[in-house]
Amino acid sequence: MLTKHLLTDFNPITLIFARCVIASIIFATFCIIVYKKEFKIAKKDLKYFIGLAFFEPFIYFLFETYSLKYCDASMVSVIIATIPLFVALMAVFIFKEKLSKLNFFGIALSISGIVIMLWHSFINSEVSFYIFLAFGAVFSTIGYNYFLRKIPITYSPIVVITWQNILGLIAFLPLVFFVNNGESIAFQYHALGNMQNLSFLLMLSIFCSAIAFILYIGAMRVLGLARTNIFVNLIPVMTVVIAFYVLNEEITVSKVLGIIIVIGGIFLVQHKRKAG
């Protein structure tokens, strides 16, 4: 919701870059003071951090933010909520884990829910392109989780996410100059004078670009990948409610039905057969 609001005054590239800069300054300062030498990345692990930052924040936020600019926030959130489905498929084809028939039924059920919810948008060719961008963000999480699993657990989650944002802002820096000119930079700089814009940007930078990922890594190391990803399913529920009150987005029957089916299917995917 905060991103959707800020996109009225900021272009997607500048917004993501600003988030990375703010998060990097705050958390790099913290890491240098608290972790000191432990803040450094070993040469043998650098490739994993680069891969991590390439998929998130670079690819993920690039696709997600542009899709949010042209699609309903609730619609994008439901697509993002299919992440556990594709993580499950990654587990089967890459990590050779097994899924039950009930899990596969959940995948089919959730996909049908997305079709119900987005049918009219797919007919609109202009909007459908940005819906596919949202799916691109979903697929980027596969690469992100792959590299995340490669990073040794000796690195604190705070250190991992701080470097993720630092490398992310380096990746976005050339694009900032490419998509902006003097006039657009001046307009966006002036928009920062709006206290609501500034507060929303700070919240996105601190909570969404840093703390959310820190908690995710901490939870994944304790609960495992599948059990942690189930909480992604709360995104569409919260987004639809907030979008209704904040952005005055319409809650249609197809949205409600699609959300129920998607979430139901995702829970089936996460179900594990009891031993014995």
DSSP 231: G
pLDDT (tens digit, 9 = 90+) per residue, 116-139?
876 766 565 566 777 888 889 999
Which domain, by its residues, includes 215? 2-98+121-231
Decide if 27 contacts 116 (C-beta within 8 A).
Answer: no
The answer as to whether 250 is a domain residue is no
Decide if 85 contacts 269 (C-beta within 8 A).
Answer: yes
The answer as to whether 274 is a domain residue is no
Q: How confident is the model at residue 93 (pLDDT cuts 50, 70, 90)?
A: confident
| pLDDT value at residue 276 | 47
For the chain, the C-alpha Rg in angstroms (whole number) is: 19
C-alpha triplet 92, 96, 100: angle, nearest 5°: 50
The answer as to whether 151 is a domain residue is yes
Q: Average pLDDT in the 81-86 region?
A: 82
Classified as helix, coil or strand, 147 is helix
pTM summary value: 0.81
The domain tally of the chain equals: 1
The answer as to whether 104 is a domain residue is no
Q: Average pLDDT in the 240-262 region?
A: 79
Distances (CA, A) of 83 to 98, 161, 204, 240: 18, 20, 20, 18
The answer as to whether 106 is a domain residue is no
The answer as to whether 239 is a domain residue is no
